[in-house]
Amino acid sequence: MSAVPKGDYEGIRNEVRKILKKPGYDDGSIGPVLVRLAWHASGTYSAKDKNGGSNGAGMRFAPESDDGANAGLEFARQFLDPIAEANPWISRADLWTLAGVTAVEAMGGPVVPWKPGRTDFQSAKHASEYRGNIADRLPDAAQGAQHIRDIFYRMGFNDQEIVALSGAHNLGRCHRDRSGFEGPWVVNPTRFSNQYFRLLTTRKWTPKKWDGPLQYETVVAGKELMMLPTDLALIEDDKFRPYVEQYAKDQKLFFKDFAAAFGKLIDLGINRDANGLASVGGCPFAGAARSNL
């Protein structure tokens, strides 16, 4: 990896773009897992408790790193480590989220608004003191509509934003050795599109007959695709379904709404000072101090 001048975030984006293609890994790209890293690093936020979220890069430490919902994300963090090591001026929290939005755009998706300034926890002790108990804050794919609302309402999202964010399932696949589920949602899981919504509304989804957890399946162009219970909940719920149908018909609308919702997600709970630097637990820690982490 190359070192880029301090503050050159476009240079960091270019470094991320260089590593996206990864023959032999999933479908040949690490883009989807980078999006998942940014998502899961941010999705622990609680508007009520004012903690969690991407600031601090708490997934470097247990128990967040050991959360079953984050299984496999150690690979995403490892993919980005060489960029971080070559550029110690950028915090892990900024790098993870910037890599996620860069991957979305590189895979044909919209430009997601992103601002720097996140800082990193100095230690596991610091992370624990600031974040407290953030267990069970990420979605459980085996649940239904009420669970989805409980998770996303906690962060401050409405039903429309929930459906838009669910469109991230246009990317990547499930792995049985990580989540218990298996397979991709769409035919091309490395291209961002509205196919996820089109498939939800046009295909018949039947329970998969196997020894794993409940998931649904269909076959498109000879390829077996899957949906999770939380995916089917979007078309079974009367308030979610209209947004699914809108996005299935209008990719431009979906891109616009996804960019807004994902930009909001990765910025939840971040309070910046006059210089744009975010504080963690009341104290700002610049990425340059990362040698002490």
Q: Are 242 and 201 in contact (CB under 8 A)?
A: no
Burial class (CB in 10 A: 0-12, 13-18, 19+), 93: buried
Place of tokens 């939800």: 200
The helix or strand, by DSSP H or E, that contains position 227, with its residue range, turns out to be: strand 223-227
The CA distance from 27 to 44, in Å, is 28
Place of tokens 């992370």: 127
Phi, psi of 223 (to 5 degrees): -110, 130
Which among 39, 96, 114, 185 is annotated as catalytic?
A: 185
114 is catalytic: no
40 is catalytic: yes
Which among 40, 96, 114, 126 is annotated as catalytic?
A: 40
The CA distance from 120 to 91, in Å, is 6
Q: Are 216 and 205 in contact (CB under 8 A)?
A: yes
Taking CB atoms within 8 Å and a gap of at least 24, the contacts of 273-280 are: 276/115, 276/116, 276/117, 277/117, 277/119, 278/55, 278/117, 278/118, 278/119, 279/119, 280/55, 280/56, 280/119, 280/120, 280/121, 280/126, 280/130
The CA distance from 116 to 86, in Å, is 18
The CA distance from 167 to 199, in Å, is 11
The CA distance from 109 to 50, in Å, is 30
> Where in the sequence numbering do the catalytic residues fall?
40, 185
